[in-house]
Amino acid sequence: DGGITQSPKYLFRKEGQNVTLSCEQNLNHDAMYWYRQDPGQGLRLIYYSQIVNDFQKGDIAEGYSVSREKKESFPLTVTSAQKNPTAFYLCATSGTGGIYEQYFGPGTRLTVT
Amino acid sequence: ILNVEQSPQSLHVQEGDSTNFTCSFPSSNFYALHWYRWETAKSPEALFVMTLNGDEKKKGRISATLNTKEGYSYLYIKGSQPEDSATYLCAFIGTGTASKLTFGTGTRLQVTL
């Protein structure tokens, strides 16, 4: 089945710990994205990558890091520097260029206490 | 950060009613506008990608129009059904920003029998 996998669905961490969220795709899409959703807010872009070994900061990149070593994978690390990490995180993929629709994974809900 | 606004924030209609929502975006540097439907417990799914002023797109009972000169798009749902209940998101892409989408906060539609 073609699709996007995010794991785990729910993740709990203690404050001060880094945590990595995984995103894997087999759609053969070049572009991959990480979004964050908070109650009452739209999806906000954290990082995006249009090609392997290259990525750009989105609107809220502070406290996050990413890597893109393989076309299929775009993991997001939430570092201890992120002041309010509890949120719902969505990964998406698309062809390169704004005319291509984005496909979204099922999301990971991260709770940091 | 770009300002993409959606109205109303939420809407409650009865089965069979027709309804519409608005997405407002910057009228300068327009490249593309996306519409997504996000049902509870599912991932957002693309409805339309619109690029030309005056564009009209249709998918079943849902249609959308685009006015890039004045910076707005309308989404129409004809004869609403309970399965149309979802949050509808629009996302703006400006020229020179590659695949970077800026999302509105969404319109939450609830259709009751």
Q: How far apart are CA A82 and CA B69, in angstroms?
A: 39
- The count of residues in chain A is 113
Buried b (16+ CB within 10 A) or exposed e, A27-65: eebbbbbbbbbeeeebbbbbbbbbeeeebeebebbeebb
Residue pairs between chains A and B whose CB atoms are closer than 8 Å: 66
Interface touch A98/B98, C-beta < 8 Å: yes
**Chosen from B9, B47, B89, B99 to mutate, greatest number of chain A CBs within 10 A:** B99
More confident residue, A41 or B43: B43
Mean pLDDT confidence for B8-15: 96
Q: What is the chain A residue with the closest CA to B45?
A: A103
Interface touch A99/B106, C-beta < 8 Å: no
**What is the per-residue pLDDT across B44-95, written as a single tens digit (0 to 9) for each?**
999 999 999 999 999 999 999 999 999 999 999 999 999 999 999 999 999 8
**What is the per-residue pLDDT across A47-83, written as a single tens digit (0 to 9) for each?**
999 999 999 999 999 999 999 999 999 999 999 888 8
pLDDT at residue B1 greater than cutoff 90? no
Helix (H, G, I), strand (E, B) or coil at B84: helix
Q: How far apart are CA B103 and CA A94, in angstroms?
A: 16
Q: How far apart are CA A90 and CA A45, in angstroms?
A: 10
Q: What is the DSSP letter of B16?
A: T
Cβ atoms of residues B101 and B3 within 8 Å? no
Interface of A with B (CB under 8 A): 4, 31, 33, 35, 40-45, 48, 50, 56, 58-59, 90, 94, 96-107
Interface touch A94/B99, C-beta < 8 Å: yes
Average pLDDT, chain B: 94
Instruction: Return the amino acid letter for B109.
Output: L
